[in-house]
């Protein structure tokens, strides 16, 4: 029977990792603080207005409170949506820097100003992108959806799973194949502990070995929302059948 992990040195664990320094705290969340999204209010809605905004180099957006924990005190109004527009060049630069699919698991500061180039700040806070609408043919971004992600708020997040150690994985070196069963894991977690990504180390897996969700270490405040916890995250499977031992003819 295949083991979850095989290691002569003891149990292995898949560890939550972040893109910054190795010296940082094990469960410190990643926030793209160097990218402050600039937006201005959008009072009107409708296709014509959106087309005009896009023609002017802007992307329509909306930000609202997800409010998954009504008992949590929040300064945000849960009933009011903020209709905004953002600068296409800035969003494209952020996507180039942060890269998909990590964009929707990264918190960003947001500043809502009175107008384009205005120094009059109407509101600010941290937001989490939850959806990017694109044109099916051109791939051009049509609009963006954000939720407020201030500290203390509880949010649902699909965290991308990234696999590392493929270049030294014993099972892959033997001709095995990495079956990536889960590419994301859904959690309910405080905004300040949203992980940028989850890295799963497969560097010591052999053919038949699997990694399960309990093998992944995350911040203790994070609650798993993914269904079927017994389904493995990944598995090393054989791609070639072993030749049967020669039998006398």
Mean of pLDDT over the chain: 82
* Residue 135: predicted pLDDT: 93
pLDDT bracket for residue 51 (50, 70, 90): confident
Q: Name the token pair of 91.
A: 């969003």
Cβ contacts of residue 79 below 8 Å, gap of 6+?
Answer: none
CA distance 184 to 162: 9
* Residue 49: predicted pLDDT: 81
CA distance 198 to 188: 15
* Residue 26: predicted pLDDT: 45
How many other β-carbons are positioned within 10 Å of the β-carbon of residue 43? 6
* Residue 248: predicted pLDDT: 45
pLDDT bracket for residue 77 (50, 70, 90): low
How many other β-carbons are positioned within 10 Å of the β-carbon of residue 135? 10
Counting Cα atoms < 13 Å in the Cβ hemisphere of 235 gives: 10
pLDDT bracket for residue 31 (50, 70, 90): low
| pLDDT of residue 209 exceeding 50 | yes
pLDDT bracket for residue 76 (50, 70, 90): low
Contact 154, 68 (CB under 8 A): yes
| pLDDT of residue 84 exceeding 70 | yes
* Residue 32: predicted pLDDT: 53
* pLDDT tens string 88-121: 999 999 999 988 889 999 999 999 999 988 899 9
């Amino acid at each position: 029977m295949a083991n979850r992990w095989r290691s002569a040195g003891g149990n292995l664990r898949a560890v939550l990792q972040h893109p910054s320094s190795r010296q940082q705290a094990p469960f410190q969340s990643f926030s793209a603080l160097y990218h402050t999204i600039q937006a201005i209010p959008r009072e009107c809605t409708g296709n014509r207005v959106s087309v005009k905004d896009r023609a002017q180099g802007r992307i329509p957006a909306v930000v609202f409170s997800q409010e998954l924990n009504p008992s949590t005190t929040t300064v945000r109004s849960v009933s009011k949506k903020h209709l905004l527009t953002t600068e296409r060049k800035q969003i494209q630069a952020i996507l180039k820097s942060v890269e998909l699919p990590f964009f929707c698991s990264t918190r960003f500061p947001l500043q809502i100003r009175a107008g384009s180039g205005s120094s009059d700040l109407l509101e600010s806070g941290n937001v989490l992108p939850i959806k990017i609408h694109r044109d099916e043919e051109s791939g051009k971004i049509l609009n963006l959806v954000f939720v407020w992600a201030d500290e203390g708020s509880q949010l649902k997040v699909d965290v991308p799973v990234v696999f590392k150690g493929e270049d030294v994985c014993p099972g892959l070196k033997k001709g095995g194949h990495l079956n990536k069963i889960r590419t994301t894991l859904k959690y309910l977690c405080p905004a300040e502990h949203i992980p940028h990504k989850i890295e799963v180390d497969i560097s010591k897996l052999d053919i038949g070995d699997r990694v399960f969700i309990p093998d992944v270490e995350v911040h203790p405040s994070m609650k798993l929302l993914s269904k079927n916890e017994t389904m493995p995250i990944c598995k090393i499977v054989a791609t070639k059948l072993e030749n049967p031992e020669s039998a006398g003819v």
